[in-house]
Amino acid sequence: MALPAEAGGFVGVADVSPKRPLCFLLLGPPGAGKGTQSAIIARKTGVARISTGEMLRDAIARKTPLGEQAAPLMDHGNLVPDSLLVALIDERVTHPDCTNGLLLDGFPRTVRQAEALDQLVRDRGMELVVMNFDVPREVLLRRLSGRRWCPSCQATYHLESSPSKKEGVCDTCGSALIQRADDRENVVAKRLEAYEAQTIPVIEHYVKRVAVHRVDGYRDVSDVFAEILPFLQGEKAS
Ligand code: AP5
């Protein structure tokens, strides 16, 4: 996948695949529920889930060169450069699980990333389906301040809406839960600013090209999933 213009190089749903492999995008602000839904979708359908936030946090934990570059940017609520993200996706889509389709959570976040993805979608003959999560700002703030996260397996909880069975302990792997560094109040404000400045234009980019489906994300997790499922099954046209 090549970045457009001046920068350097990017895009089925497994057993729910309709005619062409899907490139299924979950867009929306921080805390909108993209990660929660993408984890459920991947579990229920087997589609290859690509969460750039998780991949970057994993790189940081492993202290890779990518992680070293990304950490200070993420800690301050800034985006990681397009060239690094496009290279990350480029490599990830070569894995065999991506043959039948992709579920992208957190990518693209800039117009340049979207343009690179457009090329990948064309090259692979994929069908692009775009879901845009809409959640009121005060709800986003509550969700992010109450989120707890497992640094070992990246499972996500919420102190009120989805607490772990044992307080402060991950249900899946037993590790101690923490608050993500970028969920601190001042960093959240910066992330929301970055979203408005750099990712709202991505939605505008797609509105001109394909149907963008608004998802009311301020509902129960299961209701949000029920709204998305028909699009994954190709029952609703994009
Ligand atoms: P990333 O991890 O992608 O963060 P984000 O997009 O800001 O999204 P979040 O993970 O904060 O929220 P979410 O929508 O996934 O919500 P969740 O399901 O967890 O990226 C982090 C950073 O990495 C970025 O700031 C940037 O620096 C960098 N980065 C990543 N991708 C990049 C890219 N492409 N380009 C450049 N930089 C990039 O839910 C939140 C909370 O709410 C949870 O506690 C959950 O339990 C709860 N919740 C979820 N759904 C519901 C519901 N329906 N009802 C009640 N509670 C709910």
Secondary structure element (H or E) that encloses residue 220, with its range: none
Is residue 110 in a domain? Answer: yes
Is residue 87 in a domain? Answer: yes
Q: What is the overall mean pLDDT for the chain? A: 91
Query: Which one from 92, 109, 124, 143 is the annotated catalytic residue?
Result: 109
Confidence band (pLDDT; 50, 70, 90) for 11? very low
> Is residue 228 in contact with ligand 1, taking CB distance under 6 Å?
no
Is residue 183 in a domain? Answer: no
**Residue with CA at minimum distance from ligand 1 atom 7:** 30
> Is residue 143 in contact with ligand 1, taking CB distance under 6 Å?
yes
User: What span, in angstroms and rounded, lies between the C-alpha atoms of 210 and 212?
Assistant: 6
Residue 70's CATH number: 3.40.50.300
Is residue 79 in a domain? Answer: yes
Per residue in 32-70, pLDDT (tens digit) is: 999 999 999 999 999 999 999 999 999 999 999 999 999
The alpha carbon of 95 is separated from its chain's Cα centroid by a whole number of angstroms, namely 18
**What atom in ligand 1 is closest to the CA of residue 133?**
14
**Residue with CA at minimum distance from ligand 1 atom 50:** 33
Is residue 215 in a domain? Answer: yes
How many whole angstroms from 19 Cα to the centroid of ligand 1?
Answer: 30
Q: Which domain holds residue 221?
A: 22-138+188-232
Task: Give the number of domains in the chain.
Answer: 1
Per residue in 134-149, pLDDT (tens digit) is: 999 999 999 999 999 9
Is residue 14 in a domain? Answer: no
Q: According to the model, what pLDDT value does residue 5 have? A: 53
User: What span, in angstroms and rounded, lies between the C-alpha atoms of 66 and 59?
Assistant: 6
202-224 burial: b if 16+ Cβ within 10 Å, else e = beebbeeebebbebebbeeeeeb
Confidence band (pLDDT; 50, 70, 90) for 16? low
44 flagged as catalytic: no
What would the mean pLDDT of 98-115 be, rounded to a whole number?
96
Is residue 197 in a domain? Answer: yes
Please give the model's pTM, rounded to 2 decimal places: 0.92
Confidence band (pLDDT; 50, 70, 90) for 13? very low
Is residue 35 in a domain? Answer: yes
Q: According to the model, what pLDDT value does residue 234 have? A: 77
